[in-house]
Amino acid sequence: MAAAATKSVSSTIRLFHLTFYKAGSQWVRDILADARLVESVGLTLAASGIDLQSCHWPTIAQGQLASPLYSTGAGKWQLVSTADDRAFVVIRDPRDIVVSLVYSVSLSHAPTPITLLLRDPLATATERNKLQIGMFLLAQWSEYLRSWKGAADFENVHLTRYENLIADLPGELARLCDSLHCHAPQSALDAIARDHSFAARAGRQPGDENPFSHRRKGIAGDWRNHFNRETAHLFEDIFPGLLTDLGYESATTWWQSVPESIPSASMEPEQERAKLLAVLTEYETELAVTRIAAEERLREVLILHDAIAEQKRSIEALTALLAAADEVKHSFAWRYGYRPLRLLSSLIRG
C-alpha cells in the first residue's frame, strides 16, 4: 500500500530536468527514463533536448518528465512553475564545462552552426585560445548557471552536481526519489547505477580518455590538466565570483594556487598506437550498436507503414460499402419499398 501511495504522488506532478551543456545531460536523461526508475517513480519521458534560450517552455502532463532542458535559471523557473511542478537541477564545475565544450565542439559533437563555425579555428588555436573559445561559449548562459546558487530557497527544486552523480549515483537517485516523495528499491538503484556507469556505457574506466567520443573521460576536475595560472586568472576575471557562488571554491583567489604551467602528457609511440587502436575498437562497437538501433527503428517504421496502409484499405472498403448502401437505398428501397408503402398508407387513411 505504501508503494502505491507514494507512486500516486509522483503521478500528479511534472518533473523538469534543468541543466547545462556538458553536465552529463543525456546521461542523466537516460537514467531518469530507465524503465526500472519509471516503475518506481511513475514519471515517463515526454520532452527532451530543448534549449530554453531559443525554444518555448515545454508543455507536459502530470506524471511526465521533460529531460534535458538547457540554459535556464532560477528566475524563469519561479515564473513558470506551478504547485505540481518539480525541478531536478544538475550543475557542473564551470571550468570542466569549458574543457568539455572545447573537446566536444572540436572533435565529437554532431555538425551544428556553432561546430561548423568553430571547428577549424579550434584546430589551429593555441591551448590558451581554445580555452578562451570555451569560456566564450560558457558566457552565453553563465548567469543562468549562477542563479542556481539560491536553489535551496525553492521547495520544489532538487539541485545536485555532476560531480556528486559520478561519485555516488545510487545515493543521488535515492535523494531525488525522497524529494519526489517516492521510493525505489535500493537494489534497483544499484542496478541502474551499474548499468549506466561510465565503464558500462563507454567500455573504458573513468579517466581513460577518448577525445573523439561524446563520453570522453568521465571524471571531475579535468580542468586541472588544462588550466595554468594565467588561464585560471583569466577565468576568474571573466566570471567573477561564479565558482564561489556555486560552492566550487571558497575564495576568489583560487587561481593563485594553480601551477604556472601544465605538465606534459606525452606518450611513448607504442602507448599512442595502443590508444588509437582502443579508440577504433570503441567506434566500431558504437557503430554496431547504432546500426542495430537503426534497424530496429526501420522495422518499427515499416510496421507502422503497414498498419497505416491496412487502415487506409479498411477506410476505403468502408467508404465503398457506405456508398453502395446509399445507392441501394435510393435505387431500390426508396423506389420500390418506401414509396408504395407511403401510397398504401395514404389510401388507407383516405
pLDDT value, residue 2: 42
Pick the last residue of a domain from 246, 265, 284: 265
Residues 260 and 280 in one domain: no
Residue 4 has pLDDT above 90, yes or no: no
Most confident of 247-256, 319-328, 336-345: 247-256
- Assess whether 301 and 222 both reside in one domain: no
Question: Are 256 and 296 part of one and the same domain?
Answer: no
More confident residue, 151 or 299: 151
How, if at all, do strands 44-47 and 64-70 pair? parallel
Q: Kindly state whether residues 158 and 293 are assigned to the same domain.
A: no
Same-domain check for residues 259 and 319: no
On whether both 206 and 338 belong to a single domain, the answer is no
Nearest to 131 by CA among 18, 242, 292, 239: 239
User: Which three-class secondary structure state does DSSP give residue 90?
Assistant: strand
Question: What DSSP string runs through 313-327?
Answer: HHHHHHHHHHHHHHH
User: For the chain, what is the mean pLDDT?
Assistant: 85
Question: 286 with 306, same domain?
Answer: yes
**pTM of the shown model:** 0.74
pLDDT value at position 73?
Answer: 96
In a shared domain, residues 206 and 72: yes
Last residue in a domain, options 223, 246, 265: 265
Are 165 and 28 in contact by the 8 Å Cβ rule? The answer is: yes
> Does 100 share its domain with 240?
yes
Please give the residue range of the domain that contains residue 119.
2-265
Last-in-domain residue among 265, 292, 315: 265
Q: Both 67 and 189 in a single domain?
A: yes
Q: How is residue 185 annotated by DSSP?
A: -
Residues constituting the chain: 350
Orientation angle between helical segments 186-195 and 169-179, nearest 10 degrees: 130
Q: How many domains does the chain have?
A: 2
